[in-house]
Each structure stands twice: as C-alpha cells, then as structure tokens.
Amino acid sequence: MAFYASMSLFIVGCHFDFSLTANPTRPIDNRLVGDWVYVDVDGQRIERMNVRKLDATTFIVSYEGELYRAFHSDFAGVSFISVQDLHSDPGKFLYLVYKLSSDDAKLGLKYVNPKFVPETVKDQAAIQEFIKRNLNNPSLFGEELVYSRRKDWRP
C-alpha cells in the first residue's frame, strides 16, 4: 500500500513552487537515460518510466504517459534532482535523490516528503536550509522505490 501512496505523489503531486537550485548544477548523468520498470512486491502493479536526454543539463521523463522536466540540483553533498510537472500551471516541482547500482541496472529513488516540510518554507534558500538541517532525519524522505533497467532497451 505504501507503494501506491508514493507513486501517486510522483504522478500527480509535485508540491513545490520552485526548483531546489536555480539552475542545473551539472551535466546530466547519462547512466539515468533509459527505460526503467518498477514492479511491486506481489507483481500486480508495474510502473514504467522513460528517461531521455533533452540537452546537456536537462532530462525529459515520461512516467506512465505524463511528462516531466528534470535536472540535477546537487547540494550538501547529495545528488538531488528537481523534477517539474509539465502539466501543471505553473509547473510545480518534486525533489528526488537517486542512487544507481554498480552495474547501472537498478535505480533507487526517494522523494523529499512535502508533508514533512513546514508551510513556512517558501523559497529556495529556505528549502535548502531545511533539507541541510534534516538530511539525517528519516522523515525527510519517502520510501525508496527501486527500478530495474529494461534489458531490451538500447541507447
């Protein structure tokens, strides 16, 4: 059940009015480009995510048919990604952290939990300060979801 709550946040719930950093902090990590699949524990639900390079610093993500723009927003020694919903007006953001397995076959994603962020946090400087202070607090992030690279995908 936690999976459904987590994924509905990504699909319909970008909550922040601004990206985590004003601009991309580095070129895209090409290892993220590809087709990814998440299968829940009982194998009943499959979620597909396609990540493509738009330019040197920007990804386009198709998640179950919805489009998002994403870029690296690294700070405080953590690999964050700012993800913008292209269907909302103005485009709202979600913040993710990621890690890849050593063979690049598994992608772990966790989102910054908007329910943990106080409503008084209203700009980039404030969210960055809040995240820095709470990096070790398990409530900062939602559940980690691990995706597998589709083996039949070729760059």
pLDDT in tens, 61-107: 998 888 999 999 999 999 999 999 998 777 899 999 999 999 999 99
Q: Dihedral of CA 124/127/130/132: which sign?
A: negative
Q: Which pLDDT value is given to residue 6?
A: 44
Q: Which CATH number fits domain 2-149: 1.20.5, 3.30.70, 2.40.128, 2.60.120?
A: 2.40.128
Pick from 145, 152, 149, 147: which is nearest to 35 by CA? 149
Pick from 96, 89, 74, 86: which is nearest to 21 by CA? 74
Q: What 3-state DSSP class applies to 41?
A: coil
Q: Looking at the predicted structure, is the pLDDT value of residue 51 above 50?
A: yes
Confidence of residue 8 (pLDDT cuts 50, 70, 90): very low
Q: Which pLDDT value is given to residue 151?
A: 75
What value does the mean pLDDT take over residues 130-152? 92
Taking the C-alpha atoms of residue 73 and residue 143, their distance in angstroms, rounded to an integer, is 20
Q: Looking at the predicted structure, is the pLDDT value of residue 5 above 90?
A: no
Tokens 């198709």 map to which residue?
Answer: 62
Measured CA distances, 39 to 2, 29, 99, 103, 107 (Å): 13, 24, 18, 19, 13
Q: Which pLDDT value is given to residue 9?
A: 39
Taking the C-alpha atoms of residue 67 and residue 61, their distance in angstroms, rounded to an integer, is 6
Between 12 and 104, where is the model more confident?
104
Domain residue spans of the chain: 2-149
